[in-house]
Chain A
Amino acid sequence: MGNISDLEALLRPPAMEMPDYPPKAITLASGEVMVVRQVAREEVPTLLEAIYPLLLVERDFYDVVGARLFGELLAYKRFRVKDEYVLAGLIDGVLAGMVNGRLVNEKTGMSYHTLTIRRGLRVGSHLFAAKMEYHIEHCQQEEVLIVAESPIGFRRWMIEYPLEKRFEVQHELGGVPSWVLPKDTYYAAKPRLVSGRRPISEELMKSAQTILLPRQETVVRQVAGEKEG
């Protein structure tokens, strides 16, 4: 038996080289600007804090998505998942939503989750598109495997893009038959589904440097589509 470092090396999956996701700014329907940027491992505890109150929210499968995402983010933070990345959408620094996924190999990506906190402004749609952009344009992958856990996700991804069936492949999220976004379909959908401006100003980047959290009660109210107070 070797020392603890040797064991850790065995437990930790080998990592591929992954490019950074260049931050972008998106003006939402409300006129607010959302910065989409990559989340570093050390920022994961902040995201976990945002997800925690959603673990018992059944509406729109927030409980399933929240619980799975919680585990995936923990695994990312503690090096127990291979080649994962996390992107967040921030409005004035406040977390509006997050997405994650991983690279299966050089050619194929796997989308994990999209979780929207600020609802009604297509935040989830923008973040999912950013995730696809990362796989296809920045990681230069050929395709992304995708499933949806909620009917909302099904409408957003399977119908809007539209995705193709790859049912012979079981997705890592529960072994559900996979759908796939091939590179060509991504580029065909890009003009109507992928947006954002780069580079973003220093001032805007500064506003998104620290992830601020809405209060737990606000998070639950927002996902339930309710107004604060």
Chain B
Amino acid sequence: MKSVYIAGAGMTRFGRSEWPLMQLASVASLAALKHANLGGVPVDGVVVANMGAARINRQTALGSALVDQLALYPAAAESVENGPASGASAVKVGFQAIASGMADVVLVTGVERMRVVNGMEGTDFVASLSHPIAEYIYGVTLPSLAGLFARLFMEKHGVERKHLAMVAIKNHANAAKNPYAHIQQTITMEGILTLPEAVVNNPPIAEPLHMFDCCPVSDGAASLVLVSQEVAAKLKGPKVRLAGMGQATDTHTVHERKDPTDLKSVRIAAEQAFRRAGLKPEDVDVAELHDAFTILEIAESEASGFFPRGEGHKALERGDTQLGGRLPINPSGGLKAKGHPVGATGVAQLVELTWQLRGECGERQVKDAKIAYACNFGGFGNNVVASVLQREA
């Protein structure tokens, strides 16, 4: 298998956008291509990740559309829909194309424009990833699944609401340093949990999860330029290698799992990614985890192998996962505050990590970061893609 490098990374600001879907995708793609500075090396392939355009934007075949928008003909074009894991799945398609020798340069762009529909319709669209007969028809939504998961996880491991609040506070603080983040507002423990006003400031969404435990609904796009070792050798700037990827699935319905709090797919995907990269969780300097709900950052930090089972919240208490801590998690602000345009999220995680490894993150830079890890969590853990990035000297 040939080595794959990330030569360029770019994204739009996440939030609510007035731009049409393909303009979002184009702006992120052009930013990544500019960042890569390919100097005339042609793009062989384009992969676009998206979850809901067919339904909410009435547009399909986004890969072909992006090739046309950017005049990248005759580049091969693909579209990838894999729920909330669409982004990293699309990166995997690009990775495979280069690793197999079929392509030397692949542009991977994730895009979603969800704010064109109201919150109820948006929630319903995302809920369509749940099991149609065993979950969806009973009114299951992602917040409700996360609420059930959170209650079970908290009871089992002694996690309290204050720990969930700590995740939110940390990620909001990080996002305040990220000009691309949807929410750039710091929050306090008093304001969201301990003062009487917190009842109004932070209302319940799906107990025990409250408003500040849930990610916002965002529009946005993120893009990566993947290149072969031969192309990477000709480019200037730091070299970031996509050192390993892993992917695993689990039962569609959450209740069929022996232990619903065990994120088996995260564990397996992470193990694969680390094994293929020839690295271990303890080698990682910075991570982006899929914190669509605060509880997931804690659970994924354990399942990815960073902390023993049931001790993710203790690491949080120690400050290990803060900027400046032993393993900063979600320096971008995570889905929680950077935002979650579903199809773009998995790509955006790797955009942040590429910038981190290149030392381009300004105020939120993790010092001397050389190894990075991302977990893109699809469904409710039924399809997970993990990635390990390494900076080469």
Contact = CB atoms under 8 A, between A and B. Distances in A.
B185 interface: yes
Contacts, number: 61
A122 B119 contact: no
Nearest to A120: B185
Contact of A194 (B183, B190, B192, B200): B200
B15 A226 contact: yes
A196 B179 contact: no
A192 B203 contact: yes
B188 interface: yes
B250 to A, nearest CB: 34
A206 interface: no
Contacts of A194: 200
A129 interface: yes
Given A195-B196, A195-B199, A29 B179 contact: no
B59 interface: no
Contacts of A195: 196-197, 199-200
Interface string A188-215: 0001111110000000000000000000
A98 B118 CA distance: 24
Given A121-B185, A155-B119, A225-B15, A31 B190 contact: yes
Contacts of B186: 30-31
Given A121-B185, A225-B15, A227-B184, A29 B199 contact: no
Given A151-B118, A192-B203, A226-B15, A28 B197 contact: yes
Contacts of B179: 227
B281 to A, nearest CB: 33
A194 B200 CA distance: 7
Task: State the main secondary structure of chain B at its contact with A.
Answer: loop
Interface size class of A (residues with CB under 8 A): 20 to 34
Interface in A100-127: 120-122, 125-126
Of A129, A191, A195, chain B has the most CB atoms within 10 Å of the CB of: A195
B16 A122 contact: no
A31 B199 contact: no
B251 interface: no
A216 interface: no
Interface string A24-40: 00111111000000000
A26 B16 CA distance: 28
B191 A193 contact: no
A27 B191 contact: yes
Nearest to B202: A29
Contacts of B184: 227
B1 interface: no
Given A126-B200, A192-B200, A195-B199, A29 B192 contact: yes
A226 B18 CA distance: 12
Nearest to B187: A29
Interface string B203-233: 1000000001000000000000000000000
Of B119, B183, B190, B197, chain A has the most CB atoms within 10 Å of the CB of: B197
Contact of A193 (B183, B185, B200): B200
Interface string B170-190: 000000000100111111101
Nearest to A34: B197
B201 interface: yes
Contacts of A120: 183, 185
B15 to A, nearest CB: 6
Given A121-B201, A195-B200, A225-B16, A30 B118 contact: no
Contacts of B191: 27-31
Nearest to B195: A27
B165 to A, nearest CB: 10
Contacts of B182: 225
Contacts of A31: 186-188, 190-191
A122 B183 contact: no
Given A151-B118, A225-B15, A30 B200 contact: no
B225 to A, nearest CB: 27
A144 to B, nearest CB: 18
Interface string A14-55: 000000000000111111000000000000000000000000
6 contacts: A27-B195, A30-B185, A31-B190, A31-B191, A125-B200, A151-B118
The 9 closest A-B pairs by CB, nearest first: A31-B188, A29-B191, A29-B201, A195-B197, A227-B184, A29-B187, A195-B200, A27-B197, A31-B191
Given A27-B190, A195-B199, 5 more contacts: A27-B195, A29-B192, A29-B201, A129-B200, A192-B200
